[in-house]
Amino acid sequence: MDIVVVGSINADLTVRVRRHPHPGETLLGTGGGITPGGK
Protein backbone atom coordinates (compact mmCIF):
# COMPACT_ATOMS: atom_id res chain seq x y z
CA MET A 1 0.00 0.00 0.00
CA ASP A 2 1.28 3.48 -0.92
CA ILE A 3 0.22 6.69 0.81
CA VAL A 4 0.76 10.05 -0.87
CA VAL A 5 0.19 13.34 0.94
CA VAL A 6 0.06 16.56 -1.08
CA GLY A 7 -0.38 19.89 0.68
CA SER A 8 -0.14 21.03 4.26
CA ILE A 9 -2.27 21.69 7.31
CA ASN A 10 -2.20 24.70 9.60
CA ALA A 11 -3.76 25.30 13.00
CA ASP A 12 -4.29 28.55 14.92
CA LEU A 13 -3.67 28.45 18.66
CA THR A 14 -5.49 31.24 20.50
CA VAL A 15 -5.22 32.08 24.20
CA ARG A 16 -7.24 34.62 26.20
CA VAL A 17 -5.33 37.08 28.38
CA ARG A 18 -6.55 40.05 30.44
CA ARG A 19 -4.32 42.53 28.59
CA HIS A 20 -1.56 42.74 25.99
CA PRO A 21 1.87 41.86 27.41
CA HIS A 22 4.67 44.38 27.61
CA PRO A 23 7.85 43.56 25.62
CA GLY A 24 9.64 40.65 27.33
CA GLU A 25 6.73 39.99 29.72
CA THR A 26 5.03 36.61 30.11
CA LEU A 27 1.32 36.40 30.95
CA LEU A 28 -0.79 33.41 31.96
CA GLY A 29 -3.76 32.67 29.73
CA THR A 30 -7.25 32.00 31.08
CA GLY A 31 -8.48 29.77 28.24
CA GLY A 32 -8.21 29.27 24.53
CA GLY A 33 -8.57 26.88 21.67
CA ILE A 34 -7.20 25.34 18.52
CA THR A 35 -8.96 26.11 15.23
CA PRO A 36 -8.21 25.40 11.57
CA GLY A 37 -5.86 28.03 10.22
CA GLY A 38 -4.25 29.07 6.98
CA LYS A 39 -5.06 31.57 4.28
For 1-39, write each residue's pLDDT tens digit. Answer: 999 989 888 999 999 999 999 999 999 999 999 999 876
Q: Identity (one letter) of the amino acid at 35?
A: T
Global pTM? 0.53
pLDDT the model gives residue 7: 87
Q: d(Cα 9, Cα 13) in Å, to the nearest integer?
A: 13
What is the C-alpha separation between 4 and 24, in angstroms, rounded? 43
Q: Would you list the domain boundaries of the chain?
A: 9-38
* C-alpha radius of gyration, the chain, whole number: 17
Per-residue confidence (pLDDT) for residue 12, from 0 to 100: 93
Whether the Cβ atoms of residue 27 and residue 18 lie closer than 8 Å to each other: yes
d(CA 37, CA 27): 23
How high is the pLDDT of residue 39?
Answer: 66
